[in-house]
Structures are given as structure tokens and as C-alpha cells.
Amino acid sequence: MEKESKENKVVVLPVIGDENNKTDIPITREEYTALLKEVSALRSGNAIVAKPKGKIATMKFIDDNPVVDFSPVRTTINNGKESLLFDVFLYDDKGLIKKKDINYLDFARNGDKREVTILRTDKEEITKEYGSVNVTYVDGYKTIFSGRQVPLAVTSEDYQSLIELPNGEKITVNNKCLNMV
């Protein structure tokens, strides 16, 4: 429902909801026309929806600095009891990466999570060689040693992402730092 007001504004009366809520909502004629066009575009399926510029992820921040990488390190502390320490690498506001040793439980419980935008993800293939092994063949129930040696290599993939922080700054982080529980 609508009614025309004296200063060329349309007053939209609420139709859905509580009947005791009789608050008038004044909007201009242009706003009303734009709203009707948007509703008709949504109904017809021709609406233009703004796409985000990247995927959204959460990232852990400690002392207002984002965690860009971490690795577990075992050490012995507290009267001979072994506990797990993490080497945590934080990106500070000066653009430097600083290392901080944090107990695993403190790392898991502390810090806040903020949303960041993933702009690009790059894959790096890592190959580690662990010596060599003898080539063997299986023929039925027999194992035949060829005497030939081949290198033993393990290939894995490491993913790095270019992200945009909430303050607009762009940095590259290891993907294991994104969406941590």
C-alpha cells in the first residue's frame, strides 16, 4: 500500500507483520521506483548480483598480527614433562615476519579469528629424496631382486594463498593457516 505525501514522498505502509505496528516509512519517489524495479528483476530472474572478489576464509590473529605459518616443535619443560610447543610466525604491521614460541594449548585456545579474502592460490610441488631402494619384481610366489637401485622420492604439494587482510593489506600465507578450528 502506498499514499502520496505533500512533499513528493511516498509513504509505504507495512502490510506484513504485527497489526499493532502502524509506523509509516517515508521514502522518495525515486527510491520507491528503484525498489519496484529491483523486485521485478528479482522475480523475473534478471537480477544482477554483485559477486565477491574472492573466496572468504577465516584466519587466526594473535596480538592483532595474522598467523602466516606455524610448525610444531617438541621440547621438554615443566619438571621433565614433555609438552608441545609451536613456532608461530606472525606478520606485523611493519611488514616483517616475527617468530614466537607458543604452547600448543595456548595456540589453540587464544587469538581471535577474522575473515580474509583469498585472491589467488598457488601450488608448489615439493620432492624429497630419501636415498635409494633395490628394484624387485614379483613372479607368482617368488620375489626377484634385480640388483638395480632407483632413488626413493616422496612428492607432495604445498599451497600458498595471496590474501587480503581486513585492513586491505595483501600478504601471502600458507594454506594451513586458513580456516583453522
| pLDDT one-digit tens code per residue, 69-90 | 888 877 766 677 777 888 888 8
- Write down the pLDDT at residue 122: 92
The cell for 62 is 594473535
Share the mean pLDDT of the chain.
80
Strand blocks (E) in the chain: 2-4, 9-12, 25-28, 55-62, 65-76, 82-91, 97-103, 112-139, 142-164, 170-174
- Write down the pLDDT at residue 15: 53
Domain that holds residue 29: 2-44
Each residue's pLDDT tens digit, 128-176:
998 988 888 888 888 888 888 888 899 999 899 999 988 888 988 888 8
Does 70 map to a domain?
yes
82 & 169 share domain = yes
13 & 93 share domain = no
Does 99 map to a domain?
yes
pTM recorded for the entire structure: 0.56
Q: Are 108 and 86 in contact (CB under 8 A)?
A: no
Each residue's pLDDT tens digit, 169-181:
898 888 888 887 5
- Write down the pLDDT at residue 1: 46
Each residue's pLDDT tens digit, 8-50:
555 555 555 555 666 667 788 888 888 888 888 888 877 676 6
The cell for 108 is 589453540
Number of domains in the chain: 2
94 & 24 share domain = no
